[in-house]
């Protein structure tokens, strides 16, 4: 099982801050995971595909969408931060 976390606005769109998910073997990258989550909830899919959303796998930020999610214990989606 992999713990999927949502922060900020993404938590509001998802309706929860975390969930445990059995990631299928066909899901290998961040792109694949976004597609899987989008198929389950299109509104969440749009939100996590938005510009500026950052993804961390096992508490390390991913530098690209092809980052591996295989054997991940935790994957976090973070909405863009605004400063002021």
2-78 is classed CATH 3.10.20.30: yes
Could you state, in order of their start, the residue ranges of all structural domains in the chain? 2-78
CB count, 10 Å around CB of 23? 18
What is d(CA 65, CA 43) in angstroms, rounded to the nearest whole number? 20
pLDDT of residue 61: 95
How far is it, in rounded angstroms, from Cα 21 to Cα 56? 16
Give the gyration radius of the chain's Cα atoms: 12
Token readout for 40 is 């389950």
From the list 20, 84, 14, 2, the residue with the least C-alpha distance to 53 is 14
Show the tokens assigned to 14. Answer: 């998802």
pLDDT one-digit tens code per residue, 3-62: 999 999 999 999 999 999 999 999 999 999 999 999 999 999 999 999 999 999 999 999
pLDDT per position as a tens digit, 54-70: 999 999 999 888 999 99
């Amino acid at each position: 099982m992999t713990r999927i976390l949502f922060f900020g606005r993404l938590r509001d769109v998802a309706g929860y801050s975390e969930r445990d998910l059995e990631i299928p073997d066909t899901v290998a990258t961040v792109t694949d995971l976004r597609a899987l989550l989008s198929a389950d909830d299109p509104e969440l899919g749009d939100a996590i595909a938005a510009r500026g959303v950052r993804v961390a796998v096992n508490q390390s930020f991913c530098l690209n969408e092809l980052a591996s999610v295989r054997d991940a214990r935790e994957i976090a989606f973070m909405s863009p931060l605004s400063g002021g």
